[in-house]
Amino acid sequence: MQSVIKVSNLTKQFKGLTAVNDLSFTVNKGDVYGFLGQNGAGKSTTIRMLLTLIAPTSGNIELFGMNLKKHRSEILRQVGAVVEKPDVYKYLSAYENVSLFAKLSGITVTNKLVMDQLEMVGLASRAKDIVKTFSQGMKQRLGIGIALVHNPQLIILDEPTNGLDPQGIADIRNLILRLSKDMGKTIVVSSHLLSEIEQVASRLLIIDKGKKLVEGNAHELFDPAQTIVEIETTNNSLALQQLQQSNWRNLLQPQRGQNILLKLHRNDVPALHRGLVEMNVEVISFQPRHNLEDFFLQITSNNQHVQAFTN
């Protein structure tokens, strides 16, 4: 399979701090590549290195089979990116912003091209409005519109759902799926929230403290057998006792905080729910958790699993 990004032994040090540590990964053509890590894990630094905003301390980056340092312009012509916040020129209109960045990307700008792009991100009706008046979601969509205007092969979205409302998050998710499935783009999308990534990513990289934890196919990583459920009841110690005496006892996990944790197959979650009702446990909350912290818990409590994806 053709690789679009090939990163080898990438390291970045800032005055005594190693932000990215000997990181290697490959993104193949057509991937929606989820880039997961907690805040400060080194995601943004890595993405900035991919975009030449930050110079690596050591290591090598190849995009489209070309060395990034040597073929910078050629490569960046085929890349569209939104890095962190989708900041654009607030004193210019949406139309002016798209047109300006399209020109910078080296393409011929026509009115139709700009309007089509704004149409695609649902901003056509606000084309002439100054960006200052836009909501966060609209700015995000505009940022993506700008990233896509020159029809790049590789799209890099750094935390694209930050600060968005649920509708905004869903819009971005749908857009990513459309770009991938309908237009065959390669997409790198970073997030600190697993729930966002799992719905779109075909492949996944998890980093922590600048180092790779896991890289693999999403469907394998999101093993339904490894779902963590967090339960809060009116009397947690009583509920725990009852669970320890039930058939669910083998699924209990070491507690973190007050709540009860169980690891089970996703298909068994309804049965657990029913079981609690039958035991007369008064449930306050019942959450199959998908955040990164739990995922880390999941993969680190199963060392075999980690090794399976880090070879």
Partner 1 sequence: MYKLLQIELYKIFKRPRTYISFLAITALVGVIQLGLVKNGDDYVNFVMGNVMQSFSFDGKLLNGYLVCYILLQLLLVHVPLLIALVAADMISGEANMGTLRLMLTKPISRTQFLMAKFLASAIYTFMLLVWIAFLALFVSMFLFGVDDMVIQKTNYLVQLPVDDVFWRYTGAFGFALLSMLSVAALGFFLSSFAENSIGPIVATMSVIIFFTILSTMSIPLFQKIQPFLFTTYMVNWKEFFDPKVNADNAVIVGSLHKPERIITSAIVLIFHIIGFVGATMVIFKRKDILS
Q: Cβ contacts of residue 101 below 8 Å, gap of 6+?
A: 88, 146, 149
User: Which residue from 20, 32, 63, 76 is in contact with partner 1, where contact means CB under 8 A?
Assistant: 76
User: If binding is defined by CB under 8 A, does position 219 make contact with partner 1?
Assistant: no
Distance of alpha carbon 161 from the chain centroid: 9
User: If binding is defined by CB under 8 A, does position 7 make contact with partner 1?
Assistant: no
User: If binding is defined by CB under 8 A, does position 74 make contact with partner 1?
Assistant: yes
User: If binding is defined by CB under 8 A, does position 54 make contact with partner 1?
Assistant: yes
User: If binding is defined by CB under 8 A, does position 17 make contact with partner 1?
Assistant: no
Toward partner 1, which CB reaches closer, 96 or 119?
A: 96
User: If binding is defined by CB under 8 A, does position 53 make contact with partner 1?
Assistant: yes
- Give burial (CB, 10 Å; 0-12/13-18/19+) of 281: buried
Encoded tokens for 21 = 């540590």
Q: Cβ contacts of residue 250 below 8 Å, gap of 6+?
A: none
φ/ψ of residue 98, rounded to 5 = -60, -45
User: Which residue from 22, 84, 119, 268 is in contact with partner 1, where contact means CB under 8 A?
Assistant: 84
Toward partner 1, which CB reaches closer, 92 or 308?
A: 92
What's the min distance (Å) between Cβ of 70 and partner 1? 13
Toward partner 1, which CB reaches closer, 144 or 228?
A: 144
User: If binding is defined by CB under 8 A, does position 146 make contact with partner 1?
Assistant: yes
Number of residues that bind partner 1 (CB under 8 A): 32
User: If binding is defined by CB under 8 A, does position 55 make contact with partner 1?
Assistant: yes
Residues 87 to 116 in contact with partner 1, rule: CB under 8 A:
87-92, 96, 100-101, 103-106
Number of other residues whose CB lies within 10 A of the CB of residue 45: 21
User: If binding is defined by CB under 8 A, does position 220 make contact with partner 1?
Assistant: no
| DSSP per position, 200-265 | T-SEEEEEETTEEEEEEEHHHHS-GGGEEEEEEESSHHHHHHHHHTSGGGGGEE---SSSEEEEE-
**Please, how many CA atoms are within 13 Å of residue 261, restricted to the half-sphere of its CB?**
17
Order the strands of the 66-67 sheet from edge to edge. Answer: 17-28, 3-14, 58-63, 66-67
Buried-state track 141-176, b at ≥16 Cβ within 10 A, e below 16: bbbbbbbbbbebbbbbbbbbbeebeeebbebbbebb
User: Which residue from 20, 27, 83, 172 is in contact with partner 1, where contact means CB under 8 A?
Assistant: 83
User: If binding is defined by CB under 8 A, does position 72 make contact with partner 1?
Assistant: yes
What's the min distance (Å) between Cβ of 288 and partner 1? 36
User: If binding is defined by CB under 8 A, does position 117 make contact with partner 1?
Assistant: no
Tracing tokens 């704004």 back to the chain, one arrives at 118
User: If binding is defined by CB under 8 A, does position 63 make contact with partner 1?
Assistant: no
Task: Give me the residues that bind partner 1 (CB under 8 A), please.
Answer: 14, 48, 51-55, 72-77, 79, 81, 83-85, 87-92, 96, 100-101, 103-106, 146
